[in-house]
Amino acid sequence: MPVTASYPSASPTTMPIDPERIERILELTDRPSSDEVHAVLEAALELQGLSPEQAAVLLLADPSDEGAIFRAAGEAKDRIYGNRIVLFAPLYVSNVCSNNCLYCSFRRDNREIQRRVLSLEEIADQVRILEDMGHRRLLLEAGEVPHAEQLDFILEAIETIYATRTETGSIRRVNVNIAATTVEAYARLKAAGIGTYQLFQESYHRPTYERMHPYGPKRDYRYHLTAMDRAMRAGIDDVGLGVLFGLYDYRFEVLALLCHAEYLELEYGVGPHTLSVPRFRPADGVDFEPPYPVTDAEFKRIVAVLRLAVPYTGIILSTRESAELRNELISLGVSQMSAGSATQPGGYRRGAPAGEQFHKADERSLDEVVRDICKLGYLPSFCTACYRSGRTGERFMHLAKPGDIQKLCRPNAVATFEEYLQDYASPETRAEGERLVAHQLDLIEQDTVRTSTERMLERVRSGERDLYV
């Protein structure tokens, strides 16, 4: 579909990243001294973000400084968002794809998986299962098919998701992760009521990107890299960036991600709403060995550095990581997690044919994830309030940057978590959760906020639903 004249130019004047700048930073930073690391940490705790140059100091710091970096990351996350962890589930609606990304099971040449495009009835069925688990926000995912077909299908899928309700359940926010597209298509996604539009660059390193994407529409590095420009120009102000770790040197990728974030902020006045950190996982019919595997220790460093460099941005962790590592990463700055996920179309119904995008590393149910989060002293949240109150893009950042967002986050997290405890939790999780809720009330410093949260809680306990501030 052509870009219509009613939208501003879809072609940015400068490119989102300059690879030479990144190479230069990496060359100049070398192994920084402990003093340099501590100076950057001090700056980071002012919560105004870090330049890619400063972030490089933390990324390349000696392992002996790691403890200090981790502590600072945990503190930054707590001061901005408090201790809530937002939960969601992916909803794969199709694994048919015209690309051939070497790492992905959905790639066109893979003959080992069964292909499936869900009908709208099947999508509604999946949504009811997710609602009965207690989910309130979904991430819609699909392979890429030719443009016109794809968009209509995705728009119908979104409409179906919002319209599908059970007695106690509804999906209140649909985020979308689909192929790069045109300004006009993004405008239609925005009009359909999407939350965040996510697209992972996979690799910012152009030669690697081109090797990983041998053909199909996704092969065009520039078109992929400028997707968020088109999304922003179409009025989508919550966008999510990401890198697939394992394809290229993680130091380059992290700095490129930060340059991209910096660019969006300068160009559009608002940085990314979220960053995702997928790490390569084995998958059926994929004999790809990641050329730059990232160890768990490196992965923890990546999460902590991102938290300090863009403190107001959500960091999303998926079931690509094990339960053990996910539990650890909560204290290093992760703010959103998928839970109880299936990564194949139809996967939430038992007996669905195989055809996963990748093999998960965390097989816990949503209830088990919720219970573990409570045991760690964090607050599971099913909140979707900001998006529904119009607190997106710049308005969200104005609240997030000075740390004001947690005055809203905690009451909303408590109210939505109590809904979960009342309607869906197992007895064990409910007992654990109620202890946590009581403790959360004690943590609210302002009397007015505490009283209004207590009131919301009472209303939820007496049967009201979907309360938020």
Write out the residues near ligand SF4 by the rule CB under 6 A. Answer: 97, 99, 101, 104, 106-107, 143-144, 218
Residue 101 beta carbon to ligand SF4: minimum distance, rounded to whole angstroms: 3
Cβ proximity to ligand SF4: between 248 and 396 the closer is: 248
- Binding partner at 244 among ligand SF4, ligand SAM, none, C-beta below 5 to 8 Å by kind: ligand SAM
Q: Write down the least CB distance from residue 287 to ligand SAM, Å.
A: 11
Is residue 144 at the binding interface for ligand SAM, with CB under 6 A as the rule? yes
- Minimal distance, residue 294 CB to ligand SAM, in Å: 12
* Biggest CA-to-CA distance, the chain: 61
Least Å distance, CB 380 to ligand SF4, is 29
In the chain, what is the straight-line distance between the N-terminal and C-terminal CA atoms, in Å?
A: 39
Q: What is the distance between the alpha carbons of residues 34 and 51, in angstroms, rounded to a whole number?
A: 18
Q: Which is nearer to ligand SAM, 88 or 358 (CB)?
A: 358
Residue closer to ligand SAM, measured from CB, 69 or 104: 104
Q: What DSSP character marks residue 348? A: T
CB of 89 to ligand SF4, least distance (A): 18
The identity of residue 21, as a single letter, is: R
To the nearest whole angstrom, how small is the minimum distance from the Cβ of residue 308 to ligand SF4? 29
Output 75 or 202, the one with its CB closest to ligand SAM: 202
Q: Which does 391 bind (CB under 5 to 8 A by kind): ligand SAM, ligand SF4, none?
A: none
Q: Which does 178 bind (CB under 5 to 8 A by kind): ligand SF4, ligand SAM, none?
A: ligand SAM
The binder of 200, among ligand SAM, ligand SF4, none, by C-beta within 5 to 8 A per type, is ligand SAM
Report DSSP state, residue 91. E
Number of residues interacting with ligand SAM: please give it, by CB under 6 A: 20
Strand runs (DSSP E) across 116-221, as ranges? 137-142, 173-177, 194-198
> Which of 275, 258, 264 has its CA nearest to residue 314?
275
Q: Which residue's CB is nearer to ligand SAM, number 195 or number 380?
A: 195
Could you give the C-alpha distances from 46 to 50, 73, 402, 403, 409, in angstroms and in order?
Answer: 10, 12, 10, 11, 21
Which residue of 70, 81, 103, 378 would you call a contact of ligand SAM, by CB under 6 A?
103
Tokens of 148: 């016109």
Residue 104 beta carbon to ligand SF4: minimum distance, rounded to whole angstroms: 3
Q: Under 8 Å CB-to-CB from 386, ≥6 apart: which residues? A: 392, 396, 405, 408
Q: What phi and psi values does residue 137 have, to the nearest 5 degrees?
A: -135, 140
| 283, interface contact from ligand SF4, ligand SAM, none, CB < 5-8 Å by kind | ligand SAM
Structure-token pair, residue 235? 């009025």
For residue 358, state whether it binds ligand SAM (rule: CB under 6 A).
Answer: yes
In the three-class reduction of DSSP (H, G, I as helix; E, B as strand; rest coil), residue 13 is classed as coil
Which of 65, 131, 184, 202 touches ligand SAM by CB under 6 A? Answer: 202
Q: Is 199 in the site for ligand SAM (CB under 6 A)?
A: yes
Residue closer to ligand SF4 by CB (options 144, 372) is: 144
**Contact between residue 433 and residue 440 where contact means Cβ atoms under 8 Å apart:** no
Structure tokens at 374: 């409570």
Residue 107's binding partner among ligand SAM, ligand SF4, none (Cβ under 5 to 8 angstroms by kind) is ligand SF4
Residue 253's binding partner, choosing from ligand SF4, ligand SAM, none, with beta-carbon cut-off 5 to 8 A by kind?
A: none
Distance CA 93, CA 151 (A): 13
Footprint (CB under 6 A) of ligand SAM, residues 289-328:
320
Dihedral sign from CA coordinates of 83, 323, 318, 333: positive
29 membership: H or E segment, kind and range: helix 19-29
CA distances from 288 to 238, 292, 296, 343 (A): 32, 12, 20, 19
Residue 39 CB partners (closer than 8 Å, separation 6+)? none
Question: How far is the C-alpha of 223 from the C-alpha of 208, rounded, in Å?
Answer: 16
As a whole number of angstroms, the distance between CA 347 and CA 350 comes to 7
What's the min distance (Å) between Cβ of 232 and ligand SAM? 17
Alpha-carbon dihedral sign for residues 460, 176, 371, 452:
negative
The residue among 114 and 446 lying less far from ligand SF4, judged by its C-beta, is 114
CB of 459 to ligand SF4, least distance (A): 42
The residues in 179-198 that bind ligand SAM, with binding defined as CB under 6 A, are 179
Rounded Cα–Cα distance for residues 438 and 460 (Å): 14
Catalog residues that contact ligand SAM under the rule CB under 6 A.
103-104, 141, 143-144, 177-179, 199-200, 202, 244, 278, 280-281, 283, 286, 320, 357-358
